[in-house]
Every structure is written in C-alpha cells, then in structure tokens.
Amino acid sequence: MGYTKPADIERESMSIIERELAERGIAPPPEHAAIVKRVIHTTADFDYAAALHFTKGAAQRGAEAMRGGVIVTDTNMARAGVSRRALKKLGGEIFCYMADETVSAAARERGVTRAVAAMERAVTEHANAVFAVGNAPTALLRLAEMIDAGARPALIIGVPVGFVNVVESKERIWEVCERCGVPAIVAMGRKGGSGVAAAICNALLYTAAGMLDPSDRQ
C-alpha cells in the first residue's frame, strides 16, 4: 500500500470517496462537493450525500463567514475538532459556552437545557457567528425561535444526532432559515454528531483558506 504520510492517506481516501460516489451515480454540485466529501471522510457513511441539505448559496456564504469570523459550537468535542491552523490563518475564533458556569446557572434557574442558555448567550455576544450544532436539538429549536424574532446568524449548521426531537428540530430550523434568508446546512434525519459539525466547519475553513489539499495544511 505504501501510504505512511497523513496527507497521502487523506488524498487517497478522498479519491476513493469520489470514485464510490460516481459508482453510485451521485454527483454533488461543485459548491457542495468539499462539504459532502469531508463529512463522508469523517463518517465513512455515504448516506450523507443525500441527507445534507443546503439553502441557496449556503456553502459560499459559509466560507465567506469563516474569514475573520466566529464559530459557536454546542459541544466542546465539536470545538476540539475544528482546525486551529485554518482558523488562525483566517483570523477566526471559536467558542463553546456549554461548560460556562454562568450558562449552567442560568439554565438551572430557568429550567431550560444548557444548550438553550448557551445559544442565547452566544447570539447576544456573537450575533453574526456560524452556529454549528451537532448534539443538542434544543439548541436548534432555540436558534429557530431567535431567528424568527430577528436574529441573523452568518450560517446555521444543523446536524444533531439521536432520536428525541432531532428530526423535528432539523425540519424546524430548515423552514425558518429558508423563510428568513439565513444560510443553513442541515443533515436531515437522525444522523449527525459533533464530528459531522466539525467536518462541515473544516470544509468551509479549508475552502476559505485555500487548504483543501492536505499538503497545504502542513
């Protein structure tokens, strides 16, 4: 086999993904291809080629938002999976408020989830951020309410995983984002997770930073 360098392994993996997509008769639009392939690379799950939905221009606007912008995640796991090198190159920042003591206290006092309180704080402090939700459907539902009330994030990445309120939260955020003109990338159905949220962020970062080829990240 002979693949010992991470860049070579990733490059070969992407070639395999491209080949298997073609064999399945799947051709993602060029503006979506980097995201679809990055998510499949992360999950080894080709179902995402159909599950990932994009509002018009979401990929382009998401990449633009990465230049000097802010990412907010709903888990520290997703935050840890986002490329610091690409963020630094683009002058971006990333935040997760789930473990913040003031957020925890507010959630207990009001009887809401920490995800709800974290999204409220994030919208207050980073109104134009990219919000990447890979775990908490309540975070998506609260974001949908705030968008309905006038919030305008740069991008919503809605990919929570699970069984309770997951499908409903994705359908809700999709409807609200389409109606209000907020860019959104949503994995319809039950599949998703923090790794998928980070993968989408990384695809957008690498696109914006000219780092899609792994050699450009070394």
> Phi/psi at 152 (nearest 5 deg)?
-135, 80
- In Å, how far are 55, 60, 62, 123, 155 from 129, measured between CA atoms? 17, 15, 10, 8, 7
The one-character DSSP state at 56 is: T
| Cα(13)–Cα(72) distance, integer angstroms | 29
Contact between 170 and 184 under an 8 Å Cβ cutoff? The reply is no
Q: How far is CA 40 from each of CA 45, 58, 108, 203, rounded to the nearest angstrom?
A: 5, 19, 37, 11
Backbone angles phi, psi at 156, to 5 degrees: -110, 125
Task: Give every CB contact of residue 73 below 8 A, 6+ residues apart in sequence.
Answer: 79, 82, 94, 95, 96, 132, 133, 134, 194, 197, 198, 201
* Longest CA–CA separation in the chain, Å: 57
Examine the residue annotation and report whether 41 is marked as an active-site residue of this protein: yes
**What is the spatial distance between Cα 216 and Cα 218, in angstroms, rounded to a whole number?**
6
- From the candidates 32, 41, 53, 126, give the one annotated as an active-site residue: 41
Active site residues: 41
